[in-house]
Structure 1
Amino acid sequence: MPSLSLPSAPRTAWSLTPGSAGHEVQCRGIIAALGLEPVLKRVSPSAPWSWFAPWGPAQPDAAIVPPWPDLVVVSGRQAIPYARMIRRKAGGATFVLALQNPVVAPSTFDLVWVNDHDGVSGPNVISTLTSPNTLSAEGLAQGAAGFAPLWQDLPHPWTGVILGGASGAYRFNEDDARRLGAALARIAAQTGGSLLVTPSRRTGKEPLAAFRAALGNTPAWVWDGETGANPYFGILGAAGNFVVTCDSVNMLGEAAFTGKPIHAWRLEGGSPKFAAFHDGLIEKGAMRWLEPDANASQKPNSTATLAAWTYKPLNATAVIVEAVRAAFAARARGRGTAG
């Protein structure tokens, strides 16, 4: 029987996740960068199937049926059993890329991507410091242009402030937010510039209110997290530098996509993985710690105020897409090429 001919590049692709925004945005970013329109597949297995993910079988789902796509990009442990099932039932015709540590053996998939700090390795594993995303230079320019009328009266330079929030690793309460707001008010007075501020889903209304109060009369535009369009892309595109709380790999990594200086604000807490990630950003020249006190000059990789520097933008999406294209082409050469 002749071997199955395979395409040299994917023509159709599924994003397969449990539906969480963090997982889905990474899958969508990879698929879009390949020039494809992602078909979003979201799974939510019930017990007992959910108990055994990612190792167990996939619960039957009416949405996860043939025809199988050329590419499945999967992220999230509850979605892993479905990706394994698709790869098996497609008989090798569907290429499966797993994002983040899938926990099961990497050899289960065609390709696996992880962050450097995950410590996963293998012949089909690629790793990068930052994570894939949906950012593009064109998208950031469009975002900046779209919000320009709201910010046109604010004095330059513009500093983008990206607020995280409490998590399993970090604390961020009203007192923490108040300290950050007061520090930024002092710094903005020194620079004569303005702050463009966006909270995350984890920031919380009370910490955001405390932060705004601490800014006082500082020239600033602060999104409330609810009214109007999300300004995140606009701030990434328009600001000349950033202050970012240290609690999110995605927020820091997306700021590093721009090549603009990142001043990281320490929060109470942390973990070895976060420490390794922060050290990696510092090593790449993307990040310094913002330490607005008299001893900042004595602290390594720290600055007491906003500083200017340059570095090569970090684009994990491009690295992963290149690996997918190379693996796809190699697989096609090995089994015959379809149109």
Structure 2
Amino acid sequence: MAGANARPRFSDPLSIWVVSDGRAGIENQALGLAEAVQRLTPAEITIRHVRWRPVFDRLPSALKTPAMLASARLTAPWPDLWIAAGRATLPLSTRVKSWSDGKTFVVQTQDPRWANHRYDMIVAPAHDGLSGDNVFEITGSPHRITPDRVAEAASAFAARIDPLPHPRVAVLVGGKSKAFDLTEAHAADLADRIAAAVQTSGGSLMLTFSRRTPEAAKAVMIARLSDLPGWIWDGSGDNPLFGFLHFADQVLVTEDSANMAAEAASTGKPVYVLPMVPLKSGDKFTRLHDDLSERGATRPFDGALESWTYAPLAETERAARAVLEAMTAR
């Protein structure tokens, strides 16, 4: 394997296809990995979306053929590097190497849970516990957040955030999932604890909700936190998430989202984890949060706001380097 700072390079710019069903949360995993590769070696990125006709969408991946696509069929010239995310891409990811006569290096993010041996590399969250010769584990999932990207995007929000008193506390609230819930009562309790911490510190609040946040939980948190100095994003206008991350002194994230926690830890800012209401065993989330805690990135929120330092997570970059090394070795 090449050294940690080596940059595998190719004689010509790599052609990279980012393949997904187009949903932002899915696409950004593949796109984030592709952009990390592009930062290491010249490359051209093309985004491709895969959608199946509704009548065929629920068919097992093994039975799907390109003729069943609702989106345009993908055709040659095939890319040097195919980075895909999501179930919709699997019937194509497993065949593109054959279609390209072995030219295309195929990377699938997350656990495909089907034909895992047929991808050149699977970039999977370590907390999923996936194993195999072609598996490369990272903390969290690939994403697009980098210090430079956050700083660049944050400038658009500086005028509104600069006057806010320190410590500025960014709060990223998720919502209901298979493993967790955010009930109205629990949301009220979290809001009261957050308000007390911000008031005691003399700081300000920067709050954003996810699409999964239940309306009742959102309403009660807004009602209990709106008197604090700061900014509660109401969903209108440009998303200020990167501004919140850049200007925050501390970041609070609910425990239901592996992506939010890992992305926040890529900033190097102190990250507190807010508890949710468990719906079932959260072994995967426990493993992730234990990993982030061992790295010094996160702590459970106990009502106090402290500062500490740690090496920012750069897992997407590490995965990108592994992809290029594997391509070079092949």
Normalised by the size of structure 2, how large is the TM-score?
Answer: 0.89
Could you say which residue in structure 2 is the equivalent of 1:193? 203
> What is the CA RMSD across the aligned residues, in angstroms?
1.8
1:314 pairs with 2:324:
no
Could you say which residue in structure 2 is the equivalent of 1:247? 256
Q: Which has the larger radius of gyration?
A: 1
Q: 1:271 aligns with which of 258, 266, 282?
A: 282
Could you say which residue in structure 2 is the equivalent of 1:167? 177
Report if the CA contact (8 A) 1:196-1:235 is conserved. yes
Could you say which residue in structure 2 is the equivalent of 1:71? 81
C-alpha separation between the residues in 1 aligned to 2:307 and 2:162? Answer: 22
1:216 deviates by: 4.9
Give CA-to-partner distance per residue, 1:85-125, whole Å, 9 cap, x none.
21111111011101010112432011111111112112221
1:94-113 matches, within 5 Å, as: 94-113=104-123
C-alpha separation between the residues in 2 aligned to 1:196 and 1:220? Answer: 6
Give CA-to-partner distance per residue, 1:211-235, whole Å, 9 cap, x none.
011125221210012x110001111
Could you say which residue in structure 1 is the equivalent of 2:49? 42
C-alpha separation between the residues in 1 aligned to 2:163 and 2:292? Answer: 33
Could you say which residue in structure 2 is the equivalent of 1:327? 326
Report if the CA contact (8 A) 2:110-2:125 is conserved. yes
1:9 deviates by: 7.0
1:10 deviates by: 5.8
Cα separation, partners in 2 of 1:77 and 1:8, compared to 1, 3 Å: farther
* Amino acid aligned to 1:146: A
Could you say which residue in structure 1 is the equivalent of 2:33? 30
Percent sequence identity over aligned pairs: 36
Report if the CA contact (8 A) 1:15-1:28 is conserved. yes
Cα separation, partners in 2 of 1:54 and 1:117, compared to 1, 3 Å: farther
Report if the CA contact (8 A) 2:146-2:267 is conserved. no
1:56 pairs with 2:63:
yes
C-alpha separation between the residues in 1 aligned to 2:134 and 2:226? Answer: 53
Aligned residue-pair number: 312
C-alpha separation between the residues in 1 aligned to 2:165 and 2:302? Answer: 24
C-alpha separation between the residues in 1 aligned to 2:322 and 2:12? Answer: 12
Could you say which residue in structure 2 is the equivalent of 1:299? none
Could you say which residue in structure 2 is the equivalent of 1:291? 302
Give CA-to-partner distance per residue, 1:47-95, whole Å, 9 cap, x none.
6643344333433243311111111101112211111121111111011
Please give the secondary structure, in 1, of the residue aligned with 2:299. strand
* Amino acid aligned to 1:327: A
**Please, which runs of 5 or more residues in structure 2 have no aligned partner?**
1-9
* Amino acid aligned to 1:238: F
